[in-house]
A and B are shown apart, each in its own frame.
Chain A
């Protein structure tokens, strides 16, 4: 688990949390999730155990890149920016970027049902089969990904989400 995270951090120019005890806890959490769900979902988020619904929180999660860019670390604190890993900035608990609707969908509940506060959430289905996957294409570098939504940041050229457009392929048979 550790070598996988290290190599992933290196490839993206990130660092792992420099607090050894904290790092150990995170890696143990990832290992435990991999054992019980079959994939290493974020140790600091509640997974549903349904792959398609947890896909965005499998480490490295979909929110890592924008979180490291904005706050200096990812949500759980595993990945850090250079200045944070060098101790120039403290590692702190950061706000959750994962949309509430994804969390609600994973548990097949509507946040509206018992809400005392207005929430911008609608009832959604928990059926993984109903998730609509699309091809998303980065207009800057040509990277293509098959996901429900485009990445926040292109993993190849680091273009922002706005650079992605959905791609439709039509195949005609030659006669």
Chain B
């Protein structure tokens, strides 16, 4: 899996983002995290191999999610979609 790491000063949470390279909402979410100086990692699933895509979809489905962007916080909590309020609250950005 080709994971991209984006450096940021805010390392309070482990943030992992499942994204699509073509998705405008994913792009906004990446920008939002960057603007808020959040340290995070992401993978653009559509650029992965079919085998890898299957694995990721299965993992997300097991968490009851199949929409992008999906933000996995500290390996537990999943935020589905670009929900500014929810992201701010969970990451303590307010």
Q: Are B62 and A76 in touch, CB under 8 angstroms?
A: no
Tell which of A30, A45, A116 has the most Cβ of chain B within 10 Å: A45
- A114 and B22 in contact, given A93-B83, A96-B66, A96-B67 (Cβ under 8 angstroms): no
Name B27-51 residues within 8 Å CB distance of A.
27-28, 45-46, 50
User: Once the chains bind, are B64 and A29 in contact (CB under 8 Å)?
Assistant: no
Q: Does B20 contact A (CB under 8 A)?
A: yes
Residues of the B chain whose Cβ atoms lie less than 8 Å from the Cβ of A26: 24
Residues of B within 8 A of A100 (CB): 61, 66
Interface-centre pick from A29, A108, A114 (highest chain B CB count, 10 A): A29
Q: Which residues of A12-30 have CB atoms within 8 Å of chain B's CB atoms?
A: 22, 25-26, 28-30
Whether B25 pairs with A44 at a CB distance below 8 angstroms is: yes
A119: chain B residues at CB < 8 Å are: 61, 64
Closest-CB distance, A141 to chain B (whole angstroms): 33
Closest to A37 in B: B46
Complex: A103 Cα to B82 Cα, angstroms: 20
- Cβ contact within 8 Å between B61 and A104: yes
Interface centre among B24, B45, B53, B58 (most CB of A within 10 A): B24
Residues of A within 8 A of B57 (CB): 46, 103-104, 107, 109
Q: How far is the CB of B64 from chain A (nearest CB, A)?
A: 5
Which residue of A33, A47, A77, A103 is within 8 Å of B66 (Cβ)? Answer: A103
Which residues of B have CB within 8 Å of A32?
A: 21-22
B interface residues (Cβ-Cβ under 8 A, vs A): 20-28, 45-46, 50, 53-54, 57-59, 61-64, 66-68, 81-83
Residues of A within 8 A of B (CB): 22, 25-26, 28-30, 32-33, 43-47, 49, 76-77, 93-96, 100, 103-104, 107-109, 111, 113-117, 119, 121
